[in-house]
Amino acid sequence: MYWCALILILILSSSSLATSAHKRTKICIPINPMNITNCKKLLTLGAELGWNIHNETHIDILFTIPISMDDTPKWVAWGVNPRRKRPRMIGTRAIIAISQANGTLKVSRYNITSDTKLGCRLQPLQPSIEFEDVVVQNMTGDVKPNRYMSIFATLILRPDLAAYDIARLNHVWQVGYEADEVALEPKMHPTALQNVDSTETTNLYSWKGISIEHRRHHLRTVHGILNIVGWGTLLPFGVIIARYLRRYPFHCTHWFLSHVSCQIVGYILGTIGWAIGIWLGHASKEYHFHTHNILAMFIFAFTTLQMIALRLRPTPIDDFRKYWDMYHHFLGYALLAVIILNIFHGIAILKPDKTWLCAYIGTLAVLASITLGLEIYTWCKFMNSKMKKPNTSGEVQPVPSS
């Protein structure tokens, strides 16, 4: 019981840390030749956006993407969408930097249309042609191997059209790994969740993200944390309590209460996380995570069955009880395996920053070492008692419970 509360507090506090890391930082751009004064981390791909506001229709933009030795995109893109639209790929006035054989970036403007989405070649605008509603000047691209790729530009939003509102700027960003560097044609980008979700609406005055994408992003975080804590940590911990404190090697009178409270709290948290996950699945129509969904349904159905056991299990004197115990234990272990699998699957879908994976592997390592320690202790105790008292009378020895 107390253990469960402790774990809960630990994980809740680490989650609040994780969300506070998203707050604004004064300047996040590695080098700043353009004297950018505002900067914020974007929702996906590790991207950051810096800007200076000269007046309502005149802004400087510095967009950066972190790169590493084994993850260097061939092109990076940033663009704006007119304010009457949602932030999305089609309709974007994009600035795309394509990396060249000599290690530099070549930056051009691109008009992203529905044809682009259908797979038509994306060609740069001729220098003489302007977008109807925004003039792009001073485009430059910069790359520092193993550190970042960046795009700088000045945007002059045509005031007579009022197509953009920097208090609600729709913008999108992207990276891709294939391009025709001579013809300056970027090719299809990856279709992982991070690449599909790389859009937001930002108030450049207050730095606030104000789009549905932000809410969805936060809900994904909550979904992940609840399921990792509920299903992925408390349920296994409750199993350890039942296995080692029930009879052998330790007999704690309160083992049942601890086991049940751990499982109830874990079940409730996990189920809330599961319900949020279902909602998220419905909200992102273009994306389906079949394996993740099916495993989640399986987990929910069978953890519910395990919880019902609290009311419906046979009494200890029932003949049937022995088989019921075997079934309850077997299902419990199978569920743990599926839960752990699905959590790793979920982390692979979300691709959050590395701390998530490390945190969960760390949690599992702690649980595994507790289990291993107790298992070794159980066998030592069992062997000891066997040697001290040779079994001549045929009486039943205590065996490690399974």
Ligand X SMILES: *[C@@H]1O[C@H](CO)[C@@H](O)[C@H](O)[C@H]1NC(C)=O
> Binding residues for ligand X, per CB under 6 A?
34-35, 111, 113, 125, 129, 131-132
Name the 3-class secondary structure at 190: coil
Burial of 367-391, coded b for 16+ CB within 10 Å and e otherwise, reads beeeeeebeeebeeebeeeeeeeee
Nearest residue to 171 via CA among 107, 112, 98: 112
Phi-psi region of 236 (alpha: psi -120 to 50; beta: other; left: phi over 0): alpha
Supply the minimum distance, in Å, between the C-beta of residue 91 and ligand X: 7
Minimum separation from the CB atom of position 57 to ligand X (A): 18
Sheet with 148-157, edge to edge strand ranges: 38-41, 48-55, 58-66, 148-157, 134-144
Closest CA to 237 of 285, 211, 269: 269
CB of 129 to ligand X, least distance (A): 5
Nearer to ligand X, 60 or 213 (CB): 60
**Nearer to ligand X among residue 117 and residue 144 (C-beta):** 117
CB of 90 to ligand X, least distance (A): 9
Nearest-approach distance from CB 179 to ligand X, in angstroms: 20
Nearest Cα to 109, choosing from 88, 80, 87? 80
Least distance (Å) between residue 118 CB and ligand X: 12
The neighbouring-strand residues paired with 80 are 93, 171
Residue with smaller CB distance to ligand X, 98 or 136 = 136
Q: Which is nearer to ligand X, 29 or 43 (CB)?
A: 29
Considering beta carbons, is residue 33 or 145 the nearer one to ligand X? 33
Nearer Cβ to ligand X, position 4 or 34?
34
- Backbone Cα Rg of the chain: 28
